[in-house]
Amino acid sequence: MRICIVAEGSYPYITGGVSSWIHTLITQMPEHEFVIFAIGAQEKQRGKFKYTLPSNVVEVKETFLDAYLQENGSPGIRFRLSEEQQNAFRSLLGGKSNVHWDKIFQLLRSDKFRTAADFLMSKDYFDILTDLTETNYSHVPFTEMFWTVRSMILPLLMIIRTEIPQADLYHSVSTGYAGVIAAHAKYLYNKPFLLTEHGIYSREREEEIIKAEWVKGYYKDLWIEYFYRLSECAYDYADQVITLFNRNKEIEIELGCPPEKIDIIPNGVSVDDYREISEAPAKSEDAKLQIGAIVRVVPIKDIKTMIQSFALVKHEVPEAELYIMGPTGEDEEYYQECTQLVETLQVRDVIFTGEVKIKEYLARMDMILLSSVSEGMPLAVLEAMACAKPCITTDVGSCRELLYGNDDGIGPAGMTVPVMHYDQMAAAIVSLAKNRRQREDMGRNALQRARQWYTREKFIESYRSLYASYQEVN
């Protein structure tokens, strides 16, 4: 069976998280061929893979969202769109009706125009945008509106025009642009479309846009609604939607995904791979307290809250050390802001390790931190649990479920605190730092819960059975 994995902003350019999940899925299923449709942010990433691709990856199709910067169109042409096509674009740009994606796919795949930019320079598009501006944004200069909307939808229109490799099944690992590509593949080839949603993509984009300085206040709603429409496309076209835990399922239903489409398959970790760490002798009583974070240094992981909390911890536990273990090059500006914060707070013993062999560090850690503002089911927490390490996390995604369980009779494996509350995170760290027995008890609970509910074997077998059900259809 040939399976096309559609990934945005992750595999094979970025390590950890969803990328690690994809790599595990592929390597554990050598009986299938995989095609990777990779949507990257910038053309400069082309070919720069962070993973050695398994032998059952037979093709990688790369496309980049910044390609729109090179896209030029011929102005002033009228393509004589049908009323249905005009309405489809109106709804995509802010109309109140559902988007008829089949009309958009049909138009953009036609030979009516040479490039996507041709359409965005056409009289047809000008008329649609003029109507939208007069109806909803009469206070906004039209020129400003024109360039804002162009930059918003041109990347989408371009990737829709990208050739999609043929496969027996299309498996998108998020909604957003990846979800639209998989939906388009289903439209083109009439093949099944499976969606796995780790975090809630549209909610994550909403959080980013609310905080973003580059989006003016009166355009924030336009951008937010646009990303929700992309998610609606994926939910509508998907044959089946897999999420990782029940709260995500509830949110997907709130966002319009039919509940009968949704199933839950948790992430998994190979507990045996960490046995050497989980069974290692306890550290000596006088050893330094070492705190770790397995994390990419990017805004959604909120490293600044982690640093601020550690600054408070140092007043109570001066010998403590914080190891931030993960790549720093994905967002250089944010990384510089984090190192500047360390200097401003004059906090010692914050170590940015960059990309390292995590297992070599995990053995030394006394606890693991996660300060994200959004998550799905973080593999970093699962890895810590397999190592019998307690975790302190923000109350995002499935973290509460991982650490406290669902009435499973196993005690707490750590603590959760509210998002961005560095004082509460610091208090939780200090509490565990001063109570070795509690740390050890929580570590044992973590290992027991990982063994019982979150093994890699269960995760892979669930997807193997799922793929087999579609293989029978093909």
Sign of the alpha-carbon dihedral angle for 395, 396, 402, 406: positive
Residue 453 Cα distances to 87, 184, 405, 442, 456, angstroms = 47, 35, 10, 16, 10
Both 373 and 442 in one domain: the answer is yes
pLDDT of residue 96: 63
Residue 464 lies in a domain: no
Instruction: Encode the chain (474 residues) as per-residue pLDDT tens digits.
Output: 999 999 999 999 988 889 999 999 999 999 999 999 999 989 999 999 999 999 999 999 999 998 877 777 777 788 888 888 888 888 888 756 688 899 889 888 877 777 788 888 888 888 888 988 888 788 888 888 888 888 888 899 889 989 999 999 999 999 999 999 999 999 999 999 999 999 899 999 998 898 887 787 778 888 999 999 999 999 999 999 999 999 999 999 999 999 999 999 999 999 999 999 998 888 887 789 999 999 999 999 999 999 999 999 999 999 999 999 999 988 999 999 999 999 999 999 999 999 888 888 999 999 999 999 989 899 999 999 999 999 999 999 999 999 999 889 999 999 999 999 999 999 999 999 999 999 999 999 999 999 999 999 999 999 999 999 998 665
pLDDT of residue 453: 95
Residue 474 lies in a domain: no
Both 144 and 233 in one domain: the answer is no
Question: If we measure between CA atoms, which residue out of 432, 434, 421, 450 comes closest to residue 390?
Answer: 432
Cα–Cα dist 460/463, whole Å = 5
Cα–Cα dist 368/291, whole Å = 6
Both 282 and 368 in one domain: the answer is yes
Choose one of 120, 153, 186: the last residue of a domain.
Answer: 153
Contact 280, 256 (CB under 8 A): no
Both 257 and 108 in one domain: the answer is no
Return the SS3 of 57.
strand
Choose one of 153, 185, 202: the last residue of a domain.
Answer: 153
Cα–Cα dist 341/304, whole Å = 7
Both 290 and 149 in one domain: the answer is no
Cα–Cα dist 12/50, whole Å = 6
pLDDT of residue 147: 86
Residue 472 lies in a domain: no
Residue 383 lies in a domain: yes
Both 65 and 168 in one domain: the answer is yes
Both 26 and 145 in one domain: the answer is no
Contact 446, 389 (CB under 8 A): yes
Sign of the alpha-carbon dihedral angle for 377, 379, 385, 391: negative
CATH number at residue 379: 3.40.50.2000
Token readout for 154 is 């041109």
Question: If we measure between CA atoms, which residue out of 202, 383, 417 comes closest to residue 295?
Answer: 383
Residue 75 lies in a domain: no
Work out how many domains the chain is built from and give that number.
3
Residue 413 lies in a domain: yes
pLDDT of residue 9: 92
Return the SS3 of 10.
coil
Choose one of 264, 289, 318: the last residue of a domain.
Answer: 264
pLDDT of residue 111: 77
Residue 459 lies in a domain: no
CA Rg value for the chain: 24
Look-up of token digits 């910067």: 69
Both 105 and 235 in one domain: the answer is no
Token readout for 367 is 């606890």
pLDDT of residue 346: 96
Both 368 and 413 in one domain: the answer is yes
Cα–Cα dist 228/93, whole Å = 11
Both 277 and 255 in one domain: the answer is no
Cα–Cα dist 394/404, whole Å = 13
Both 148 and 295 in one domain: the answer is no
Q: What share of the chain is helix, strand, coil (3-state, %, to 5)?
A: 50, 15, 35
Residue 299 is part of which domain span?
271-454
pLDDT of residue 97: 65
Residue 473 lies in a domain: no
Both 374 and 402 in one domain: the answer is yes
